[in-house]
Amino acid sequence: MFTAIREQFETIFREDPAAKSSLEIVLCYPGFHAVLLHRAAHRLYKAHFPLLPRVISQLSRFLTGIEIHPGATIGRRFFIDHGMGVVIGETTEIGDDVLVYQGVTLGGTGNERGKRHPTIGNNVVIGTGAKVLGGIKIGNHVKIGAGSVVVHPVPDYSTVVGIPGRVVKMRNVPGGVLEHGDLPDPEGQEITDLKERVAELETQMKALIDAVTPRAGSRSE
């Protein structure tokens, strides 16, 4: 447990430039509180304690605005930045070094049984308000853009944006940050491509009409 706490401090200092001291983290970081309370609840859940893990989870939700089911499995150095509105379902599995922003949902798609929540790989960043739904697998070193809705598996070293989420960038090496200002807009690009195609067809149509329409001089002859 002490190792996990130390790693949480190190992770927050690395990921959040606003963190100035350990005391500030202890007093003012709901993501820090939610992860520690979840680790305690998860141990009790795995030990088959009745009800108490859910009570701890609900207490954490009340205090932090972050809802993590005690059945969720979370790896090392997991950090929830800001955190309000984060929901993590019962059968979610999260790898190591995962960063999640506020409003993220790792949830199911209905009333299915069994593995109904996503599996998140290592070194994944999930942007503000993103939804990852269903028993899908998100690979290692994946970046998910803010507001995306991901319902299909995502391969390693991908960047995903949009509704539904689409892979817009592939990398073959780890590293890099999620720069939302530099992410492509697949819907916007499709609209631009469609406009260009329409303009091209209009030009071709005009040329065809000009070719088959007799000129005024030709009619008079």
CA-nearest of 75, 79, 81 to 96 is: 75
> Which position has the higher pLDDT, 155 or 170?
155
Q: Are 111 and 126 in contact (CB under 8 A)?
A: no
Structure tokens at 149: 């809705």
Query: Residue 88: helix, strand or coil by DSSP?
Result: strand
**Mean pLDDT of all residues in 147-172:** 87
Q: Are 35 and 54 in contact (CB under 8 A)?
A: no
Q: What is the pLDDT of residues 18-43, one digit of tens each?
A: 888 999 999 999 999 999 999 999 99
Percent of the chain exceeding pLDDT 70 equals 87
pLDDT at 174: 61
HSE-up (13 A, CA, CB side) for residue 138 = 34
Strands (E), the chain: 67-68, 73-74, 79-80, 87-88, 93-94, 99-100, 105-107, 119-120, 125-126, 131-133, 137-138, 143-144, 149-150, 158-161, 166-170
- Lowest model confidence (mean pLDDT) among 26-30, 100-104, 205-209: 205-209
**Mean pLDDT of all residues in 120-149:** 93
pTM of the complete model: 0.76
pLDDT at 16: 86
Q: Which residues lie across from 159 on neighbouring strands?
A: 143, 169
Confidence of residue 106 (pLDDT cuts 50, 70, 90): very high
